[in-house]
A and B are shown apart, each in its own frame.
Chain A
Amino acid sequence: MSLSDTMTRWRYRAVPDHLVGEILTKRWVDNAIPMLILLAVLAVFGSLIPDFFGSASVTNLARQWGEFGLIVIALMIVMVAGGIDLSVGSTFALGNIVALALISVAEWSVPAVVATTVMCGAAVGLVNGLLVGYLRLRAFLTTLVTLIIVRAIVDMLLLKYSVSIAAAFPDSDLWYFFGEGFLLGAPFSVVVIVTIAVIIHLVLSRSRAGWHILAVGGSRRSAHNVGIPVRRVICSTYVVSGILASLAGVLFASRLGGAGADTGIGLEIAALTAAVLGGNSLGGGRGSAAKAVIGSITVMIIVNSLVRLGVTSGANSLLLGIVLLAAVAIDVRWLKNRHKVLSKVYVSPTYADLPPAPPTSGASPYALNDRLRPVELIGLGRIDGPEDVILDDDDNIYVGDRTGDIVRFFAPDYKRQEVFAHTGGRPLGMAFAKDGSLLVCIGGMGLYRVTMDRRIERLTDETNRSWLSIIDDSRLRLADDLDIALDGRVFFSEATIRYEMHDWPVDCLESRGNGRIVCFDPNTGSTRTVLKNLVFPNGICMTHDGQSFLFAETWGCRISRYWFDGPKKGTVEPVISDLPGYPDNINRASDGTYWVALVGMRTPSVDLAMKMPGFRKRMARRIAPDEWLYPNINTGCVIRFDENGRIIETLWDFGGENHPMITSMREHKGHLYIGGIFNNRIGKLKLDGMDESWTGQTSYWGRT
């Protein structure tokens, strides 16, 4: 290996390129940019203002943030559902004046004041909600008008009560506690907003009501069509918004106690800036309490710090305007381009050095021949993509197809077929369990069992999540092939955790160890990952000792053996490490050896490309997926080998006429049944000199 190869290899081993793409797929990455802005703002003002991080300064800021944050959350909820509420500022002012009038003039008790004020806010929200939700008025204009009306009502109340409010000092410790007290070491308003933020977060992310809100915001039409009561949901968001805004008004009233005419004027712009800056999108569907909190803190710090720095009035508006513009521009651009960036960087190839491919000519055990020529075709043109083939005790054939069905061909002539079961996913590897039920790996769904009376049961669709994995690898994306140990444990391969079923060839471009082998134990019902970082693990076959299995790694062009029991438990041993093609399913042969299908053959160009990850990366970024250099998966063969890795025979279809591609083969009563994931047929080949009574079931379970 040359020096540059070594360096490339270490470069790709050391730098986890694939994480960039994985991070971009996460929803929380939306919060990264707002978070960075927040940190930048903190850094700038922290260095400009002396004692910025002092406890007094932080406490003051936090207390004011409590009120502002509530308003931003209020606005966020409405925005998430696809609306907008400009009346929050006025509702805030209404909350302020009502609370003050009740506590100072009417001298009510504090709980009654809070309850009544919040009711007032809810009433304003209800008006908005009825108009926007039920009458379907335009949110922007409607709330603009309610802003004006509520503001005018506030002015009228002020006119009536401001003098008496000014004259009275409410005599309630609880009231002052709201405005000046500490709870658990934090200002009261902070405790309030943290509690509410957590509740809102839980509701939005984990409750039916929250999902409805997100659904309506995500696509109003679809939400309506799936039966979500769109109007009621929208109405309720405005009510919540009104409640939160008036609650902020109560906190403000208890802190300052002033019935100023300017309370809440322009607050909607600041709140809108904060909400958008935090990453809540304008059209709805994307938003969270965390985003609202981040945005509100940022804007709070900017506004407060500018006042503290003593800049003149203009600079304040100027900066706020620029920040709002930049935030919306970034938001719009981000939404528009995120998936483009993602599609460019998600494919992240790594260095893969395959051993030299053995020749397929001359005296090589892989030498070309035409032994598949006499294959008899079953179901030609009536089956689409039988990845795996299996036969039951009565010689009926079961295959999965592209439309998600498991199709049964009836013995003896296989002219007749029926849909045995419909799975909904992509049925791949199959095996019969001891009780006669059919276990199927379904791509996109997981491991399922189909009983002989055609009931479909889920065995497992998730495994333990790895702690350090960025993408959620607990869900099974591409369960591929399985086999069953004597004690009933099911070992199955998951080819890749980074791609969905339909993108499986793209995984070859990466040739990273993205796959794993998972064990499902029906006795405990648990699912654990047993082997990780395998390069597209595919076929699995139990050896005859009952303590180990063979597995094939497709893009690694090798077959290995894993001991799950016995003295060598937990070790992996190579069996064949230099296949001339890409191995797929492995199955037992009648004489104690094994069959393996090679789905395609290696080519020098792809082998070379595997050593040049930079080349593959550029390819993935710059040219259309249709033009990418893929491995050959059109021509393959069937190989028989023994546990020591010795190649016994190779079966080719030289002309590629009967069996252009092969992903699986199953020996049954002296015949070999062949499937291919892109084929429209099942092949049946008479084997010479093999046991004519041998079936898989007898080999595994000893039945006749």
Chain B
Amino acid sequence: MRALGHLSQEQIVFGLAVLLCIGFAIALPGFLTTNNLLNLVRSVSILGMLGVAMGLVVIGRGIDLSLVALMAVSVAWTLQLVANGVPLHQAVAMGLAFSLVTGTITGCLVAYVEIPAIFATLAMGTLIYGFGRYFLLRLDVVYMPEAARHLLWLGQGTIYGVPVPIFVFAGVCLMGYLFLRYTRAGHYLRAVGDNLLAARITGIPARPVIVMQYVLSSLIGFMAGMVTAASVASMNTRVAISTYVYDVILVVVLGGIGLSGGKGGIRNVIVGTLLIGVLLNGMTIMDIQYTVQNVIKGIILLTAIVIDTIVNPRDEQTAQQGDI
């Protein structure tokens, strides 16, 4: 345990992923082919993008449980608009605007009304889904209409044999990295996540920074949603009330971004995504039932949290009140 204490969770998870890779490569024929590896990354690239969105919020000591709902509803509405005859670029702009406005509202609820992020976003997720279903959409599943066909490239096209979603994922990661590393707003975000009170005292506009987290997350969420819609030529809004958002949190926490904020970066998201990708890919190849996959996934997440707690312990003296 002492030796492990020197390792960060990111390193542990990365090691685990590599071990699994080696194991699968030996045990499963066809695992270590270029095609399968590309497929592996492609299959988790959307999850990874959402992970980047969630990661940014979590680094700022928030959490965004409305991410998936907002993604589903805004993209579904975009498709619906195109189907109703609105020009594609205009529909995309409207969908994006809807997404950003909703993200701002969520951010304001957290920053100004001071509702704990968990509950604000939980409620917003339900609310957004309900709003979408009641006012914007009539069916659960909205198909990609003929007029939006060239969006399909985003999800199904390839560049030099590499699927486009992988490029989008890489792009989002790069942007996220640059944002956190080189922009003032990125530094502010990390400062707010690390210690809100200290950040406020030093003059950082804490509340606007918190709002910004959720706007960013809704922006990346919308991009991930467009890729999702393009890759399956439809958008299923029921994903909003599924447990998908928990998978996203899994990726983030697994990679080693502490939920108490301020720690971690985009690399952690990539590592977490990688482990999940390897795991899912391997389990699918082994034809493990979906329910069993969930149990395995859950246990691995639990292990990651336990390790995190042991490596970064909290105790009664340092635990913050109401810090659940």
Contact = CB atoms under 8 A, between A and B. Distances in A.
In the complex, is A directly touching B at CB under 8 Å? yes
Interface of A: 82-84, 131, 135-142, 144-149, 151-153, 155-156, 159, 219-221, 223-225, 230, 266, 269, 272-273, 276, 282-284, 312-322, 324-325, 328-329, 332-333, 336
B125 interface: yes
B123 A321 contact: yes
Contact of B305 (A142, A151, A266): A142
25 contacts: A82-B321, A135-B309, A140-B118, A145-B302, A148-B298, A148-B301, A149-B295, A149-B298, A156-B289, A156-B291, A220-B319, A221-B317, A221-B319, A266-B241, A269-B122, A312-B133, A313-B133, A317-B133, A317-B241, A324-B119, A324-B126, A325-B109, A328-B115, A328-B123, A332-B116
Contacts of B246: 144, 147-148
Contacts of A156: 289, 291-292, 295
A225 B297 CA distance: 38
By CB atoms of chain B within 10 A, which of A145, A223, A273 has the most?
A145
Contact of A276 (B119, B306, B324): B119
A336 B291 contact: no
Given A138-B259, A151-B243, A328-B119, 5 more contacts: A156-B289, A314-B130, A316-B130, A325-B124, A328-B116
B127 A152 contact: no
A315 B316 CA distance: 43
Given A266-B241, A283-B321, A315-B130, A321 B113 contact: no
B302 A322 contact: no
Q: Nearest 7 pairs between A and B by C-beta?
A: A283-B322, A321-B127, A314-B133, A318-B130, A314-B134, A317-B130, A152-B294
Interface residues of B, number: 52
A642 B36 CA distance: 108
Nearest to B321: A283
A141 B305 contact: yes
A145 B305 contact: yes
B228 to A, nearest CB: 21
B324 A324 contact: no
A144 B249 contact: yes
A84 B324 contact: yes
B316 A312 contact: no
B101 to A, nearest CB: 16
Contacts of B313: 136
B249 A282 contact: no
Main SS of chain B's interface residues? helix
A454 B292 CA distance: 74
A322 B324 contact: no
Contacts of A313: 130, 133-134
B92 to A, nearest CB: 23
Contacts of B132: 314
Interface string B173-192: 00000000000000000000
Contacts of A322: 123, 127
Given A137-B305, A266-B241, A151 B123 contact: no
Nearest to A157: B291
A153 B292 CA distance: 8
A187 B295 CA distance: 37
Contacts of B109: 325, 329
B180 to A, nearest CB: 23
Contacts of A141: 249, 253, 259, 305
Contacts of B113: 329, 332-333
Contacts of A153: 291, 295
Contacts of A316: 130
Given A283-B322, A315-B130, A325-B115, A155 B291 contact: yes
By CB atoms of chain B within 10 A, which of A83, A144, A316 has the most?
A144
Contact of B324 (A139, A225, A314, A328): A139
A325 B130 CA distance: 14
Given A145-B302, A152-B294, A328 B120 contact: yes
B315 interface: yes
B160 interface: no
A313 to B, nearest CB: 6
Contact of B322 (A155, A225, A284, A315): A284
Nearest to A150: B298
B134 A312 contact: yes
Contacts of B128: 321
A257 B295 CA distance: 26
Nearest to B301: A145
B243 to A, nearest CB: 6
Contacts of A131: 302, 306
By CB atoms of chain A within 10 A, which of B116, B123, B246, B289 has the most?
B123
A58 B249 CA distance: 41
Contacts of A266: 241
A135 B129 contact: no
Interface string B139-152: 00000000000000
B309 A148 contact: no
A219 B127 contact: no
